[in-house]
Homo-oligomer: A and B are copies of this chain.
Amino acid sequence: MRQSRYFIQTMREIPSEAEVISHQLMLRAGMIKKVAAGIYDYLPLGLKVIRKVENIVRENMNKAGAVELLMSVVQPAELWQLSGRWNHFGKELLRFKDRGERDFCLGPTHEEVITDIVKSQVNSYKQMPVTLYQIQTKFRDEVRPRFGLMRGREFIMKDAYSFDIDDAGADISYQKMYDAYRSVFNACGLRHKVVDADTGAIGGSFSHEFMVLADTGEDAVMSCTKCDYSANIEKAQVVDNGEKETVELSPLEEVATPDKHTALEVAEFLGVDIKHVPKTMIIRCEGVMDGKEEKTIFVACMVRGDHEVNLTKVKNIVKAKSAEFAEHYEVQDMTGCAVGSLGPVNMPLKVYVDNALKYVSNIVVGANKESYHIKNVNLDRDAKIEGYFDIRNALSGDKCPLCGAEYEETRGIEVGHIFKLGTKYSESMGAKALDKNGKNIPIVMGCYGIGIGRTAASAIEQNYDESGIIWPKAVAPFEAVVVPVNTNDEEVIKKADEIYECLLNMGVDVLIDDRNERAGVKFNDADLIGYPLRVSVGKKTLSDGKVEVLIRRTKEVILIDADNSAAEKIKEILDTKVL
């Protein structure tokens, strides 16, 4: 492609709206343009990256035997009412009415539509296994869209759905997608980890997340330093071990703790180790089944003062659909006491205690009375609790549940998520098929997503420097740029054109920056946009019979002969030295 016939506009300033590096760099490199909050146009350079990611995904889906289709963006309410999600999905589901006052929504995901398709087309085990996928624009009306393509409202996603007659088949389909996802992120040239994950709102029996590793990642990942185990912090198991302190149990003692609210403040004020000052938090759990009805309940959770409550674990233990910290006014309503002085003694709510508190004695807890705490509490003696559970976040140094070695924490960006769904949707929507015995049973499903735009953005978060993006070759908008340095020199122009044409013919995805601009401008743009290879044809080096090749990632400069072999040599560098 000749840049003079292309459409690239870079900018020097860091756009004030962009908080994260991938967002800043995509705006500056002229890859995306904001249309509204969380809604972006993909400009030509950005679209090229998106298409490369899409093609890698498509290739690996096809290789895994998945079949591509394309479902509608606009979905009728009826399907969502059938699955029961029309009322449960929350405001992320953008609902609207058409001119005939019928209810529709913009598809945030396609379980309903695909289940309806399979219901209408499949009625026998003979037609399965089948995995269907699409690459499509979705919409989720996020309350706080941000970070560019990282958390947009309109976004491109690959979603796949597997259908099997039984669990064993569904496990095989799941494994195929798992393997395909590994291949996708490997082919994209991204360092990543697969982690155990919670199944969340989608539901189902098990789940893995694919995390691109980046210091700037939103998600914490706990990985074993020895074995292969990795898990999202939401899910990472904490092994219940320790030794009970062998001290004499002292009698309870109420103490005034004026203006001391955090565990740390109280510990320091009383001169106690923070491990002996647990936090008691009130959690709102929605969607807890009580007979046939869903209820919202509040529970108290206790973790050590130096630990953090893990809401996902609480949610799963309480068997709720969601778990969130209660608002201050809710805490006041439920306990009669303000946040900061809560404790398990005479707590009117059920109390769930983290395993780590099993091993400490004579602890300090809130007195459920503003500005008072109680010393020498021993939970088994002084409080009524539901029991000890794993309800805290894992920490670096905690033990791996598989091999006992230590966890270490890394940061990641979730780019893929796969779920074994089971029969959640096929049951509610009546998608059944005859098994080998002629019995009509609900189909067993899996669902599998990759955020295409997010994968592109994560590639930047993982690969950039102070000058700009360093694209992995596989997803770079162009693999190489040829820069004629002196645009008024005929020899230079001729040689640059010649190399460009040769590279094109060799199948290299190459751009020639044929603008009538200073070399500095072109170099800055090349660095910012992040082409893996820059080939500079300049008067000076050319007079020595040389052309300069710069590897963007390593900044290695290679002088090659400017003769007929130049393009081949460049191709060789691209194939062997560029990731």
A-side interface residues toward B, CB under 8 Å?
5-7, 9, 30, 33, 35-36, 39-44, 46-47, 50, 65, 67-76, 79, 91, 94, 96-99, 102, 104, 106, 113, 116-117, 120-122, 130, 132, 137, 139, 141, 143, 153-154
Does A76 contact B117, Cβ atoms closer than 8 Å? no
Is there contact, CB below 8 Å, between B41 and A130? Answer: no
Q: In the bound complex, what is the Cα–Cα distance between A46 and B120 (angstroms)?
A: 16
- Cβ A41 vs Cβ B70 within 8 A: yes
Q: Which chain B residue shows the least CB distance to A48? A: B68
Q: Please, which residue of chain B has its CB at the minimum distance from the CB of A73?
A: B137
Contact with A72, one of B39, B67, B113 (Cβ below 8 angstroms): B39
The answer to whether B137 and A99 have CB atoms under 8 Å apart is no
How far apart are the CA atoms of A41 and B133 in the complex, in Å? 12
- Bound-state CA distance A98–B113 (Å) is 22
List the number of copies, as a whole number: 2
Given A36-B104, A98-B94, A121-B30, check contact A44 B73 (CB 8 Å). no
Contact A44 B67 (CB under 8 A): yes
CA distance A154 to B76 in the complex (A): 12
With a cutoff of 8 Å between Cβ atoms, the chain B residues found around residue A116 in the complex are 35
Tell me the bound Cα distance from A146 to B529 in angstroms: 46
A36 contact from B43, B68, B74, Cβ within 8 A? B74
**B-chain residues with CB within 8 Å of residue A98 when the two chains form the complex:** 94, 141, 153
The smallest beta-carbon distance between A546 and chain B, in angstroms, is 32
Q: What are the nearest 9 A-B pairs in CB distance?
A: A96-B96, A36-B76, A42-B70, A9-B121, A91-B99, A41-B71, A35-B72, A39-B72, A99-B141
Note all chain B residues with C-beta closer than 8 A to A65.
5
B132 and A7 contacting across the interface, CB-CB below 8 Å: yes
Are A117 and B43 neighbours in the complex by a CB distance under 8 Å?
Answer: yes
A73–B130 Cα distance when bound, in Å, is 30
Contact between B67 and A41, CB atoms less than 8 A apart: no
Tell me which residues across on chain B come within 8 A of A40, comparing CB atoms: 72
* A94 contact set on B, CB distance < 8 A: 96, 98-99
Chain B positions within 8 Å of A139 at CB level: 73-74
Q: A97 — nearest CB in chain B belongs to which residue? A: B96
Contacts of A102 in B (CB 8 A): 36
Bound CA span A316–B526, Å: 52
CB neighbours (8 Å) of A5 from chain B are 65, 67
Q: CA–CA, A448 to B474, complex, Å? A: 33
Specify which chain B residues have a CB less than 8 angstroms from the CB of A67 in the assembled complex: 5-7, 44
Tell me the smallest distance from the CB of A75 to a CB of chain B, in Å: 7
Least CB distance from A65 to B in Å reads 6
Contact between A153 and B74 (Cβ–Cβ < 8 Å)?
yes
Which residues of chain B come closer than 8 Å to A96, judged between CB atoms? 94, 96-97
How far apart are the CA atoms of A73 and B96 in the complex, in Å? Answer: 15
Q: Which residue of B lies closest to A120 (CB)?
A: B33
- 19 residue pairs of the A-B complex, CB under 8 angstroms, read A5-B65, A5-B67, A7-B132, A33-B117, A35-B76, A36-B72, A36-B102, A36-B104, A39-B72, A39-B76, A41-B72, A41-B117, A42-B69, A43-B121, A47-B69, A91-B99, A94-B98, A96-B97, A137-B137
CA separation between A153 and B70, bound complex, in Å? 16
* A528 nearest CB across to chain B (Å): 16
Q: How many Å lie between the Cα of A113 and that of B99 in the bound state?
A: 23
Task: Note all chain B residues with C-beta closer than 8 A to A143.
Answer: 99
Q: Which residue of B lies closest to A143 (CB)?
A: B99
CA distance A71 to B34 in the complex (A): 10
**Complexed CA–CA distance, A339 and B113 (Å):** 49
A79 to B41, CA, bound (A): 14
Q: Min CB distance, A252 to chain B, in Å?
A: 49
Evaluate contact between A39 and B74: CB separation under 8 angstroms: yes
B121 and A35 contacting across the interface, CB-CB below 8 Å: no
Q: Chain B's nearest CB lies how many Å from the CB of A218?
A: 21
Chain B residue numbers with a CB within 8 Å of A75 are 35-36
Q: Which residue of B lies closest to A45 (CB)?
A: B69
User: Which of A104, A113, A132 has most B Cβ within 10 Å?
Assistant: A104
Within 8 Å by CB of A50, from B35, B39, B44, B70, lies: B70
Chain B residues lying within 8 Å of A73, measured Cβ to Cβ, are 73, 137, 139, 154
B68→A47 contact, CB < 8 A: yes
Bound Cα distance from A30 to B141, whole angstroms: 33
> Which residue in chain B gives the minimum CB-CB distance to A107?
B35
When the two chains form their complex, are residues B91 and A69 in contact, meaning their CB atoms are under 8 A apart? no
Q: Which residues of B contact A43 (CB under 8 A)?
A: 69, 117, 121
Docked CA distance A71–B137 (Å)? 11
What distance in Å separates the Cβ of A228 from its nearest Cβ neighbour in chain B? 31
CA distance A43 to B133 in the complex (A): 10
Cα separation A426 to B42 with both chains bound (whole Å): 21
The distance in angstroms between the C-alpha atoms of A102 and B141, with both chains bound, is: 12
Q: What is the bound-complex CA distance between A65 and B97, given in angstroms?
A: 40
**A54 → chain B, closest Cβ, in Å?**
11
State in angstroms the CA–CA spacing of A102 and B153 once bound together.
Answer: 14
* Cβ A41 vs Cβ B74 within 8 A: no
- B39 & A121 in contact (Cβ 8 Å cutoff): no
Considering the complex, give the chain B residue whose CB is closest to the CB of A137. B73
The complex places the Cα of A94 from the Cα of B96 at a distance, in Å, of: 9
A185 to chain B, nearest CB (A): 23
Shortest Cβ distance from A65 into B: residue: B5
